[in-house]
Amino acid sequence: MDFDESLADRIREALVNQKNVTEKSMFQGLCFMVDDKMCVCIRDLELMCRIAPEQAEAELEKGNCRPMIHNGKTIKGYIFVDEEGYKNPKDFKRLIDLCLDFNKVAKTSKKKKKKG
């Protein structure tokens, strides 16, 4: 699992006032779940932000980020932001706020049933 621990600490600090935050190893990095929903993740030095799909389009146009592509398919509402895109504290806060705003309306993923 590769991620920047100082970036993880920045996210922990940004989410300190959220009531239900858990951390999970996912996507070869670390994901922060808010209210049992994926909110923001880190892999290497990138933030993976789960935001409203229309907001994701606007962020992609600004630069410093790329879409999430899984099995050749673009996943709407998920973007990877490079270090330049979140280095500034105002940009970092804005991205975290976008993630938290979408988290309020995002659907919880279905729990997988255990086989056996």
Q: What is the DSSP string of 78-101?
A: EEEE-HHHHSSHHHHHHHHHHHHH
- For 79-105, write each residue's pLDDT tens digit: 999 999 999 999 999 999 999 999 999
Domains in the chain (CATH in brackets) are: 5-104 (3.90.1150.30)
**Burial environment of residue 65 by CB neighbours within 10 A (0 to 12, 13 to 18, 19 or more):** buried
The answer, yes or no, to whether residue 115 has pLDDT greater than 80, is: no
Alpha helix locations (H) across 36-87?
Answer: 53-62, 83-86
Dihedral of CA atoms 102, 62, 15, 50 in degrees, nearest 10, equals: 40
- For 42-54, write each residue's pLDDT tens digit: 988 999 999 999 9
Q: Which two tokens stand for residue 51?
A: 């935001």
